[in-house]
Structure 1
Amino acid sequence: MNPMLRKMSPSATKMIRLDHSHALVTFHKYEHKTPPQTKRAIVNTVSAALEIHAQLEEEIFYPAIRELDPDGEVISKSVPEHDEMRRLIAKLRATEPPDAGFDDTFMELMRDVIHHVADEETVLLPAAERLLGEERLGDLGARMTKRRLELAMPRAGEIAINTARAMPTSTVLMTAGAVVAGGFLVRRALSSRL
């Protein structure tokens, strides 16, 4: 494994926890009164994140746990939960936000994911930390980072557009202001050195 990638990557369990946090924060941007185009962007953002997350777990993380704990109950539940999540995402992609049932399907996805996250955070991740240890989790984190980049790269434009569309206008304006102010401060700092 590339030593630089290993240093820059979080451990596998930290990465999974970060993914969980990202999904939960994105879920909570969704409200029944949210405009349809924003609902679609939120659904697309969380769907892409969940699909990549599930694939990383299934390809890299779960097999590492199974090597040491072949009868692990949480993992045996996790893959069918991922399949149900994929079914709900496909249903959401086949409908539009104004359609009957769109909100209910999204809320069902949210409930299922929150339940799944609770199982992993309270049982699977602490067990993985005990079973695998810091060094192995670091190696798995680097492999997961590399694979995440491979999975996300073809979808980078879609992910960026949906993330921007899912943000409230005030957040976009505040971010733009921070970038402009940061650029000004950097330029000023550089000119004072000359």
Structure 2
Amino acid sequence: MTATKTKSPKTASAKTAAHKTTAKPASKRSTVVHDDAIKLLVADHKEVKALFKDYEKLVKDEADGDERQALAQKICLLLTVHATIEEEIFYPAARAAIEDGDLLDEAEVEHASAKDLIAQIEGMSPDEELYDAKVKVLGEYIEHHVKEEETELFPEVKKSDVDLAELGADLVSRKETLLAELGEDALA
């Protein structure tokens, strides 16, 4: 079972219009075909990293609050969906396949910290004190988390007998469902 999404021209133009301050498109999520779970998760990591860079540029350029908030909301949505698919599907499969449960325990604690910061950001106005700082710190949390996953956890899972193609298909399916439920329109 392969489930991929195609980007509609309307979505692509809306993203371009919404982020005129960026030099390159921030997302290739919808057009990339992922043939395994780890490739999907790494692609998500790259997408969010690019969005955090776009956010830093908006802050540097003193963009208005609405533009910063729209991008912060997109980052928060993508991180929420990503954390959910990892926690519901990837982490349990990894926990069953590898011996180092400490890696997964740490990842879950890092998710909890990120979710707390996401909730704070989502509950704020972009013009409130510390808004930009919280988005920046969230980016730093995520950067640390991604580094550990990509250098420690993912190599362990790759060495295991986990069927990464099947796991990837499950992740894609759940991700699409969550995006539909949580409002993929927020990504446009």
Please indicate the TM-score interval, normalised by the length of the shorter structure: 0.7 to 0.9
Q: Could you say which residue in structure 2 is the equivalent of 1:149?
A: 176
Q: Report how far residue 120 of structure 1 moved.
A: 0.5
Task: Give matches, 1:41-80, under 5 Å.
Answer: 41-80=70-109
Equivalent position to 1:16, from 37, 41, 46:
41
Q: Could you say which residue in structure 2 is the equivalent of 1:158?
A: 186
Q: Could you say which residue in structure 1 is the equivalent of 2:63?
A: 34
1: CA distance between counterparts of 2:100 and 2:177?
Answer: 30
Q: Could you say which residue in structure 1 is the equivalent of 2:127?
A: 98
2: CA distance between counterparts of 1:111 and 1:13?
Answer: 21
Paired amino acid for 1:84: S
1: CA distance between counterparts of 2:150 and 2:138?
Answer: 18
SS at match of 1:97: coil
2: CA distance between counterparts of 1:115 and 1:9?
Answer: 24
Identity %: 29
The answer to whether the 8 Å contact 2:98/2:156 transfers is no
The answer to whether the 8 Å contact 1:65/1:132 transfers is no
Q: Report how far residue 158 of structure 1 moved.
A: 2.1
Q: Which runs of 5+ in 2 are unaligned?
A: 5-32
The answer to whether the 8 Å contact 2:117/2:138 transfers is yes
2: CA distance between counterparts of 1:132 and 1:101?
Answer: 45
Deviation string for 1:88-132 (max 9, x for gaps)? 011111111111111111111011000000000111111111113
Structure of greater relative contact order (alpha carbons < 8 Å, 6+ residues apart): 1
Q: Once structures 1 and 2 are overlaid, which stretch shifts more, 69-78 or 55-64?
A: 69-78
Equivalent position to 1:138, from 165, 170, 176:
165
Paired amino acid for 1:28: K
Q: How many residues align?
A: 155
Q: Could you say which residue in structure 1 is the equivalent of 2:25?
A: none
Deviation string for 1:19-51 (max 9, x for gaps)? 000010000001322221111011111111100
Question: What is the TM-score with the length of structure 1 in the denominator?
Answer: 0.75
Moved over 3 A (4+): none
2: CA distance between counterparts of 1:141 and 1:73?
Answer: 23
Q: Once structures 1 and 2 are overlaid, which stretch shifts more, 148-157 or 47-56?
A: 148-157
1: CA distance between counterparts of 2:142 and 2:116?
Answer: 13
SS at match of 1:57: helix
Larger radius of gyration: 1
2: CA distance between counterparts of 1:54 and 1:23?
Answer: 12
The two structures, once aligned, show a CA RMSD in angstroms of 1.6
Structure with the largest fraction of helix? 1
Q: Which runs of 5+ in 1 are unaligned?
A: 161-194
Task: Give matches, 1:92-131, under 5 Å.
Answer: 92-131=121-160
Q: Report how far residue 157 of structure 1 moved.
A: 1.8
Q: Could you say which residue in structure 2 is the equivalent of 1:187?
A: none
Distance 1:156 1:5, change over 3 A: closer
1: CA distance between counterparts of 2:166 and 2:147?
Answer: 24
Question: What is the TM-score with the length of structure 2 in the denominator?
Answer: 0.78
Q: Report how far residue 10 of structure 1 moved.
A: 2.6
